[in-house]
Each structure stands twice: as C-alpha cells, then as structure tokens.
Amino acid sequence: MPDDIDFMRLALEQASRARTAGEVPIGAVLVAGDGVIAAGANRPIASHDPTAHAEIEALRAGGQALDSYRLTDTTLYVTLEPCAMCAMAIVHARVRRLVFGAWDPRAGATGSVTDIFALPGCNHRVDVFGGVLAEECGSLLREFFAARRG
C-alpha cells in the first residue's frame, strides 16, 4: 500500500515536469483511497494564469474526476508549503489532509508566514503534515533558482 513518501515522490515527478517546461518546479497529486485521482504541476507562465499553481491544477482536475467541487476524503500532496491562495482553495474544496514537502519561509500559509488552517472563521479543518521529503523538494527549488540566477 502506498504511503506519504510514495505519493510525495509522484508530486516530485510533477515538479520535474514543471521545471522542464520552464515553470517553478512545484508539483501536486490528489489521492482518494489508495490511488491518485489527479495531478498538477505549476503552469502560470505557460497558461498566462496567476492562479495556475500546482495545487490549484490538481484540485481542478480532482473536481472533474469526482464530478464534484467537494473533494472530501482526499489527501493533497504538494512539494512546497501552499501559499494563502492555495490554502484557502484546499479549505473550500474540503480536502481532508494536506501533506507537503519543503517549508516556504516567504509565502507559506501553513505556519511559515501565516496559518490559514488555524483561522477561526474557517468552516472546514484540514489535517496538515509538513516536511515529507523536505530536502528533496527544497533541493529541486534551490537548484532551479540557482540556475536562473546564473
């Protein structure tokens, strides 16, 4: 039976696809039961869409796969701590569990900069687990930005 590390490796594959496409290498997979129902890679540059973060892409595909905007009983795996936009989308989608890799000290919204999931007005609670394959996830990002800086 696959575990958090197995699914995070699949999210890393999505991040590698984003990198190959010239996007910031962040990937996500949405899991229901023991299987992946959707995946997403960062694509705001190619899509000319500032909301096309990996998490949003996976949530959109998951909604289509389940024929519902409510993604209850799912787990979202993402290689980087979600930003505030993505965190609120996760809440609105009713994702049960979020597992992420690297922490984002600049824009992370699960505790690094703010914690969207702890806001008292949220109508849904998400179980959040950070740091799964954090070094691999962070390394991919550091290498990407180092190469871009020259």
What residue type is assigned to position 150 of the chain?
Answer: G
Band (pLDDT 50/70/90 cuts) for residue 15 is very high
- The active-site residue, picked from 23, 55, 57, 81, is 55
**What residues are paired with 35 via a beta bridge?**
32
Q: What is the pTM of this model?
A: 0.96
Whether 106 has a pLDDT exceeding 90, the answer reads: yes
Residue 115: the pLDDT is 97
Task: Based on the residue annotation, tell me whether 55 is a catalytic residue of this protein.
Answer: yes
Residue 150: the pLDDT is 75
Burial group, residue 140, by CB count within 10 angstroms (0-12, 13-18, 19+): buried
Residue 123: the pLDDT is 86
Q: What are the tens digits of pLDDT across the range 33-58?
A: 999 999 999 999 999 999 999 999 99
Band (pLDDT 50/70/90 cuts) for residue 1 is confident
Whether 133 has a pLDDT exceeding 80, the answer reads: yes
Band (pLDDT 50/70/90 cuts) for residue 95 is very high
Report the residue count for the chain: 150
